[in-house]
């Protein structure tokens, strides 16, 4: 059973441990998505979230668990950034499962290739650019909340997001331009057949 954040209203009689458990249930899926977007394939997003939960649980009595969303996000982002600062092990290639249908298989391969290229480009961004972009684009967080989560100023967050987007566009330009060339050749070939 999944708890919806809006439906969750803790009673005054609940213990800190119970409030912590409810917070974990309510926010786990979203936190996993944040961790996955920040660490990519450099580390296991599940491990990032698990370590963040363990850190918070050890010090659970220090925090107010009635509105834990910001605290949980900030802790997961900090743990993801901490892992990214460690020496990087060799990356493993993503495994993808294809479809039995030929057209579906081709479309799936193209989509997987696109996703893989974008993820690799995001992985190459400086860690703060990546974290700011993930929180802005995937979490739709306002700049002030991103700044609070990352421990930066709002102008700094805006700069990181702007530079991150610019670097992503530059890294993906050959891929996009290559698609435009292929599409132009396809259209030219179709025009000759007509």
Mean of the per-residue pLDDT values of the chain: 76
Q: pLDDT, tens digit, for every residue of 62-113? A: 887 778 888 888 888 888 888 777 665 444 444 444 444 555 665 566 666 7
Among 62, 87, 112, identify where a domain stops: 87
Q: pLDDT, tens digit, for every residue of 155-178? A: 999 999 999 989 988 888 887 776
- % pLDDT > 70, the chain: 70
> What pLDDT shows up at residue 36?
86
- Give Cα separations from 31 to 6, 34, 151 (angstroms): 17, 5, 18
Structural domain tally of the chain?
A: 2
Q: Are residues 113 and 181 in the same domain?
A: yes
CATH number (domain holding residue 141): 1.10.10.10
pLDDT > 80? residue 21: yes
Q: Are residues 46 and 132 in the same domain?
A: no
Full domain range(s) for residue 6: 1-87
Q: Is residue 95 part of a domain?
A: no
């Amino acid at each position: 059973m999944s708890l919806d954040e809006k439906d969750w209203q803790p009673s005054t009689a609940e213990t800190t441990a119970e409030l912590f458990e409810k917070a974990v249930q309510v926010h786990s899926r979203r936190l996993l998505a944040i961790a996955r977007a920040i660490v990519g394939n450099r580390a296991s997003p599940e491990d990032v979230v698990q370590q963040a939960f363990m850190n918070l649980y050890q010090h659970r009595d220090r925090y107010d668990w009635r509105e834990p969303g910001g605290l949980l996000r900030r802790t997961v982002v900090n743990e993801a950034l901490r892992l990214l600062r460690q020496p990087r092990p060799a990356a493993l290639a993503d495994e993808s499962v294809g479809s039995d249908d030929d057209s579906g298989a081709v479309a799936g391969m193209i989509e997987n290739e696109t996703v893989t290229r974008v993820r690799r480009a995001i992985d190459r961004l400086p860690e703060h650019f990546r974290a700011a972009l993930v929180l802005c684009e995937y979490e739709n967080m306002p700049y002030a909340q991103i700044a609070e989560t990352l421990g930066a100023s709002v102008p700094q967050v805006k700069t990181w997001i702007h530079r991150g987007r610019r670097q992503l566009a530059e890294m993906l330009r050959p891929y996009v331009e290559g698609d435009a060339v292929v599409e132009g050749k396809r259209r030219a070939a179709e025009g000759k057949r007509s």
